[in-house]
Chains A and B, each alone.
Chain A
Amino acid sequence: MNASQTSWWRDLVHKPFFWGIVAIVALLALNVIKDPGYLAISINPANGNLVGNLIDILRYAAPIMMIAIGMSLVIATGGIDLSVGSLMAVAGATSMQFLSETGDPSSVGSALTAVGLSLAIAGALGAVNGVLVAYVGLQPFIATLVLMLAGRGIAKVITGGQNTSASNDPFRWIANGYVLGIPVIFLLAVAIVLVVAWVVRRSALGLMIEAIGINPRASRMAGIRPKGLLLTAYILSGVLAGIAGLMSVGSVMTVDISRTGNQLELDAILAVVIGGASLAGGKFSLAGAFVGALMIATLDKTVLFLGISSSATPAFKAIVIVVLCLLQSSRVRGWFRRRRTPAAPAPRVEIVKEEVAA
């Protein structure tokens, strides 16, 4: 029993997202120091729903999880998708505009149509990214940068420059409803993560995506056609960003075209990096992205809880991503390695490299 426990512990420590879990615990501890009752979860006697700060974090994490798993796949191919935040705004704008024009607040049909329409548009814009990257051969960050900045313009054109709001109960239920006391939005996010993980890991799709990211030449020699896979990854990222957009507008039933999904690109990238994936492409971990998204949600809520302006949170995230990039860099790893094993051959390689560089 004891032996199996230690090996379980060792497994967890060696998981790439272990430090993400440590960060979540540390942030929660910080909140508990400020308010000892922070972790308390109570049941609302009126409707049996769970209420508490932790539940808030789970709800808040749901959209980030969506864009984070989409971003994992794109980063694994060696690319990047900077347009996810803007696609969230486009999807949110489409659904709100559609619902406000149909004007039937209880129709399930119009809610489903709004969801379908928004996801189709988000997927189509993702396909534009994919075509530019896979078939035209543009650098991924340039192809998606155009949509990152133009996407918000598209959202503005859809709503005519206004922050459209609408009322539709079934649509609202997605973001605000509860099943067995647990928020629907979180269950939905977990379900989507599981479905994507199942599809990617139970088929060769995940393996081929990783192969493209690790060595595009070798994977082509091995008979993998990168174009279709790249297109798939960007379309999937677009659709998932669309779902995230629906989740984030659903909770208030208003799209704020300049703020919905604003700067969430960094959240998605950050979640992927916290999850242990390399920005250079290759191996990805959806579980890692899941933990990363939870960590970002905890960070956001902590910053708010400590009474700092929410528009300042990007600064904290930027610091986290810089630290993580530093930890990933070979130079910093070399420093650690040298300190641990001074006689290992690794430092010598490092020194030779530096001589060349100098």
Chain B
Amino acid sequence: MTSLAAAPVEGTTGGLAPRLRRMATANPSTLPTVASVVIFVGMVIYGEVAYGRIVQFSTLSNLLINNAHLIVLAVALTFVIVTGGIDLSVGSVIAFSSVAGVMLANAGWHPALVIVVMIGAGAAFGLGSGILIRYFGVQPFIATLAMMFLGRGLASLLSTTPERLAEGSPIRALGAEWEIVDGPKVNDLVITPAVLIAAVVVAVAYFVLHRTRTGRTVYAIGGSENSALLMGLPVPRTKVLVYVISGSLAGLAAVLYTARLGTAQNITGIGWELDAIAAAVIGGTVLTGAYGYVLGSVIGALVLGLMNVLITRDGGIPPEATTIITGGILLAFVLLQRAVLARRRE
């Protein structure tokens, strides 16, 4: 399953390159996706040459382990953005869901039930914004901004101090590292159940968005909501559904993140909206909707993750500058998309 997420790294040397070139020439809107693959490969090569120890099992498996939640969020945002909407609430949903989950787990609830509640809480936030957007005509960014503040406020009501998951809690098992290949020294191929879950999410999302009627409806709404309505597609239902999907996946990301870290806090996830939006946009999802690829968003998430690795390795760039760089990359890709779409229209 993980080969799905890592495929572009290995595949660019093989048969994928001509296919990518064909995709790029046939449809100019795939250019950002191709660009992101090129950037990812370029970053790997640059990192390997400049700092070394990038193309090795431990670095690459850590990249996946540390960004499993971001991959899930990027997939969530892909659904919403393809309809032409936006979800700014994912970061605070993670804060609320993880604080609530850790408190319930420590109160002695069954771990499976806790996980269901965490995902359900996310779904509830998504349902809230979906209803506001669909039935009351609120602009998506206002509705989800309200949910963003609601989630952050409710998380702060629950607790303002870091909540620690008990050492023996079965939820931590999701973050346990399984050694697959025992390399020399610490260079092992390691995987966690969380990474597998993220891979399953990517596979299911790929299937739903690219191979089902619901997925086609999502694209149709992004293309033109009125045309989709006139074609008899279930627009209202799908519009609410994408926000529920996004909220539930944010809840799932909270599970994965909490399992890895073992703590939850009301300030967890500040600014992750930007990371998730940036990942989707870097991967070729167009912010005005109708264009986007699940696998592209995964690459986008890995580009951001690798950027963090390189910044840490470099040591010369202050960590405060990370958000500026992320914002700059996001801006560059949005501008690239505009240029591409403008040329298409001519």
Q: Is the CB of A157 within 8 A of B321?
A: yes
Does A279 sit at the interface, judged by CB under 8 A?
yes
A192 to B118, CA, bound (A): 47
Which residues of A306-358 are within 8 A (CB) of B?
308-309, 311-319, 321-322, 325-326, 329-332, 356-358
Does A156 sit at the interface, judged by CB under 8 A?
yes
Q: Is the CB of B149 within 8 A of A146?
A: no
Does A161 sit at the interface, judged by CB under 8 A?
yes
Dominant secondary structure of chain A at its interface with chain B: helix
A141 to B144, CA, bound (A): 12
A137 to B137, CA, bound (A): 24
Q: Is the CB of B324 within 8 A of A325?
A: no
Q: Is the CB of B320 within 8 A of A153?
A: yes
A325 to B147, CA, bound (A): 13
Which residues of chain A are within 8 angstroms of B147 by Cβ–Cβ distance? Answer: 318
Does B12 sit at the interface, judged by CB under 8 A?
no
For residue A323, give the distance in angstroms from its CB to the closest CB of chain B.
10
| Residue from the list B148, B322, B326, B338 in contact with A136, Cβ < 8 A | B338
| Residue from the list A153, A279, A325 in contact with B322, Cβ < 8 A | A153
CB contact under 8 A between A315 and B150, given known A136-B338, A149-B271, A325-B132: yes
A145 to B148, CA, bound (A): 14
Does B208 sit at the interface, judged by CB under 8 A?
no
A138 to B332, CA, bound (A): 12
A-B contact count (CB 8 A): 129
Which residues of chain A are within 8 angstroms of B328 by Cβ–Cβ distance? Answer: 150
Contacting chain A: which of B35-43, B151-159, B250-258? B151-159
Q: Is the CB of A146 within 8 A of B318?
A: no
For residue A354, give the distance in angstroms from its CB to the closest CB of chain B.
10
Q: Is the CB of A356 within 8 A of B152?
A: no
Which residues of chain A are within 8 angstroms of B334 by Cβ–Cβ distance? Answer: 138, 142
Does B266 sit at the interface, judged by CB under 8 A?
yes
Does A80 sit at the interface, judged by CB under 8 A?
yes
For residue A154, give the distance in angstroms from its CB to the closest CB of chain B.
6
Dominant secondary structure of chain B at its interface with chain A: helix
**Complex: chain B residue closest to A322, CB-CB:** B146
Does B249 sit at the interface, judged by CB under 8 A?
no
Q: Is the CB of A311 within 8 A of B266?
A: yes
Which residues of chain A are within 8 angstroms of B236 by Cβ–Cβ distance? Answer: 357-358
Which residues of chain B are within 8 angstroms of A322 by Cβ–Cβ distance? Answer: 132, 143, 146, 150
A127 to B137, CA, bound (A): 30
For residue B35, give the distance in angstroms from its CB to the closest CB of chain A.
18
Q: Is the CB of A80 within 8 A of B150?
A: no
Which residues of chain A are within 8 angstroms of B141 by Cβ–Cβ distance? Answer: 80, 141
Q: Is the CB of B152 within 8 A of A314?
A: yes
Which residues of chain A are within 8 angstroms of B157 by Cβ–Cβ distance? Answer: 308-309, 312, 315
**Complex: chain A residue closest to B139, CB-CB:** A279
For residue A175, give the distance in angstroms from its CB to the closest CB of chain B.
26
Does B103 sit at the interface, judged by CB under 8 A?
no
For residue B268, give the distance in angstroms from its CB to the closest CB of chain A.
13
Does B9 sit at the interface, judged by CB under 8 A?
no
Which residues of chain B are within 8 angstroms of A161 by Cβ–Cβ distance? Answer: 318-320
**Complex: chain B residue closest to A313, CB-CB:** B153
Residue from B141, B322, B330 having most chain A Cβ neighbours under 10 A: B141
Which residues of chain A are within 8 angstroms of B287 by Cβ–Cβ distance? Answer: 139, 142
Q: Is the CB of B338 within 8 A of A153?
A: no
For residue B232, give the distance in angstroms from its CB to the closest CB of chain A.
11
Does A263 sit at the interface, judged by CB under 8 A?
yes
For residue B331, give the distance in angstroms from its CB to the closest CB of chain A.
5
Does B335 sit at the interface, judged by CB under 8 A?
yes
Which residues of chain A are within 8 angstroms of B160 by Cβ–Cβ distance? Answer: 309, 311
Does A269 sit at the interface, judged by CB under 8 A?
yes
Which residues of A259-289 are within 8 A (CB) of B?
263, 265-266, 269, 279-280
A280 to B139, CA, bound (A): 8
Q: Is the CB of A314 within 8 A of B324?
A: no
Does A152 sit at the interface, judged by CB under 8 A?
yes
For residue B336, give the distance in angstroms from its CB to the closest CB of chain A.
12
Does A296 sit at the interface, judged by CB under 8 A?
no
A124-138 vs B, Cβ < 8 Å mask (1 yes, 0 no): 000000001000111
A356 to B266, CA, bound (A): 43
Does A62 sit at the interface, judged by CB under 8 A?
no
| Residue from the list A137, A150, A265 in contact with B326, Cβ < 8 A | A150
Does B50 sit at the interface, judged by CB under 8 A?
no
Q: Is the CB of A356 within 8 A of B229?
A: yes
A316 to B146, CA, bound (A): 10
Does A174 sit at the interface, judged by CB under 8 A?
no
A326 to B266, CA, bound (A): 28
For residue A317, give the distance in angstroms from its CB to the closest CB of chain B.
6
Residue from A146, A152, A316, A326 having most chain B Cβ neighbours under 10 A: A146
B215-242 vs A, Cβ < 8 Å mask (1 yes, 0 no): 0000000000000010000001000000
**Complex: chain A residue closest to B335, CB-CB:** A136
For residue B321, give the distance in angstroms from its CB to the closest CB of chain A.
6
Does A147 sit at the interface, judged by CB under 8 A?
yes
Q: Is the CB of A317 within 8 A of B322?
A: no
A120 to B199, CA, bound (A): 48
For residue A267, give the distance in angstroms from its CB to the closest CB of chain B.
10
For residue A152, give the distance in angstroms from its CB to the closest CB of chain B.
7
**Complex: chain B residue closest to A145, CB-CB:** B274
A311 to B267, CA, bound (A): 10
Q: Is the CB of B153 within 8 A of A312?
A: yes
A108 to B324, CA, bound (A): 33
Which residues of chain B are within 8 angstroms of A325 by Cβ–Cβ distance? Answer: 132, 136, 138, 142-143, 146
Q: Which B residues are within 8 Å of any A CB, using their own CB?
A: 86, 88, 132, 135-139, 141-143, 145-150, 152-154, 156-157, 160, 229, 236, 266, 271, 273-274, 277, 287-288, 318-324, 326-328, 330-331, 334-335, 338
Q: Which A residues are within 8 Å of any B CB, using their own CB?
A: 80, 82, 132, 136-139, 141-142, 145-147, 149-150, 152-154, 156-157, 160-161, 263, 265-266, 269, 279-280, 308-309, 311-319, 321-322, 325-326, 329-332, 356-358
Q: Provide 5 A-B residue pairs closer than 8 Å at the C-beta atoms, listed in order of the A residue.
A: A149-B323, A150-B327, A157-B324, A317-B149, A356-B229
Question: Beyond the given A138-B338, A329-B137, could you list 8 further A-B residue pairs with CB under 8 A, ordered by the A residue number?
Answer: A80-B141, A146-B327, A265-B145, A312-B156, A318-B149, A325-B132, A325-B143, A356-B229
8 pairs of A and B residues whose beta carbons are closest in the complex: A315-B153, A150-B327, A156-B320, A318-B150, A153-B323, A311-B156, A314-B149, A314-B153
